[in-house]
Structure 1
Amino acid sequence: MRDKSHDKRLSGEEAEKLAIAVLAWLAGEPDMMGRFLALTGVEPQQLRSAMTQPAFLGGLLDFLMQHEPSLLAFCAASDTKPESVMAAWAHYVKPGLDSGEY
């Protein structure tokens, strides 16, 4: 079973701010933004309205969590700890069957 003593919980506002920081970072990384848009099917003109949707914000964080090099690049560029991204991701994404949280 996973040791939860190191889990960090973020408020909804903190998780939202971190997800928006990911979007801002992606905006400065054209290749990465293109990959994100291609994988999600979101059109560039939809980004502004999508930012208000929790599922989209969770998707931004999930995008990083699914590719460690991208996660580490964001963390280095934004001086953010990977654990903070993981905590924000956990705010939006429900635990899976293999999480031990059921």
Structure 2
Amino acid sequence: MMDEKSAHTVAIQTLGWLASEDDLWDVFLGSSGANIESIKTSAQDPIFLGSVLDFLMMDDAWVMRACGALSMPNETLMQARQALPGGRDRSWT
């Protein structure tokens, strides 16, 4: 099981990767209602970081792209999400 500090690091890395992916970044901004300024202030918020991971985990292809680019196993995003606030309350079916 991943601890919250490690999960925070994974989520920040994932957010950085997401920001570099123009096609996904625009979808994330549109679906989350976030903008650059709100992301700058929310980037350290574990609840916001959980929402970043929730977004990416909506599509297996996105998970594989992110994890491949970040050189981490595909399960890492789910493990990180479970360690962040609200992650243990989810049904991962």
**Amino acid paired to 1:39:** S
TM-score where L is the length of structure 1: 0.81
Quote how far apart the aligned CAs of 1:14 are.
Answer: 0.4
- Give the alignment's Cα RMSD to 1 decimal: 1.3
Quote how far apart the aligned CAs of 1:94 are.
Answer: 3.3
Q: Distance in 2 between matches of 1:71 and 1:28?
A: 15
1:95 aligns with: 89
1:36 is aligned, of 19, 28, 39, to 28
2:46 aligns with: 54
Question: Which structure 2 segments of 5+ residues have no match?
Answer: none
Quote how far apart the aligned CAs of 1:49 are.
Answer: 0.8
Give matches, 1:1-102, under 5 Å: 9-92=1-84, 93-96=87-90, 98=91
Question: Which structure 1 segments of 5+ residues have no match?
Answer: 1-8
Quote how far apart the aligned CAs of 1:76 are.
Answer: 0.9
Moved segments of 4+, more than 2 Å: none
Quote how far apart the aligned CAs of 1:90 are.
Answer: 0.9
Aligned residue pairs: how many? 90
Percent identity of paired positions between Structure 1 and Structure 2: 29
**Amino acid paired to 1:94:** R
Q: Secondary structure at the match of 2:89?
A: coil
TM-score where L is the length of structure 2: 0.88
